[in-house]
Amino acid sequence: MIFDPTIECNGKGNGIKDILLKIVNDFISISGLMVRLDTQMGDYLVEIKDQFVIYGAYQTFTKNFQDILDATKEFINQYKDKEFLWREVLSESF
């Protein structure tokens, strides 16, 4: 089983986890770009950082994604003893 792009973070920053974390971080960073409507100064970043619901959702997302990674690794490890079937080059082996 090969994931393309990789399911975890990678050096290119295009792994599935990279993409999902970027979406979450971009959502939070938008609060720093929006000018306050009530005072016309500053931004909403303080309010976002004080929202424990957002951090709770982020923790739930992280935990669920880790559960997916663990289940995937467990599934792949079932076939480790047969790994030679796709690792070996048949023409070289025979």
Q: Report yes or no on 33 lying in a domain.
A: yes
> What is the structure's pLDDT at 11?
85
> What is the structure's pLDDT at 69?
87
| Reported pTM | 0.62
Q: What type of residue sits at position 54?
A: I
Q: Report yes or no on 11 lying in a domain.
A: no
Domain span at residue 77? 16-93
Q: Cβ distance 9 to 15 under 8 Å?
A: yes
Q: Report yes or no on 54 lying in a domain.
A: yes
> What is the structure's pLDDT at 63?
93
Read off the pLDDT of residues 21-61 as tens digits, 9 standing for 90 and up.
898 888 878 877 777 777 877 777 777 777 778 788 888 98
Q: Report yes or no on 81 lying in a domain.
A: yes
Q: How far is residue 82's CA from residue 10's CA, in Å, rounded to a whole number? A: 26
- Based on the structure, what is the number of domains in the chain? 1
Classify 77 in phi/psi space as left (phi over 0), alpha (psi -120 to 50) or beta: alpha
> What is the structure's pLDDT at 1?
63
Q: Report yes or no on 4 lying in a domain.
A: no
Average pLDDT, rounded, for the chain: 82
Q: Report yes or no on 3 lying in a domain.
A: no
Q: Report yes or no on 7 lying in a domain.
A: no
> What is the structure's pLDDT at 27?
80
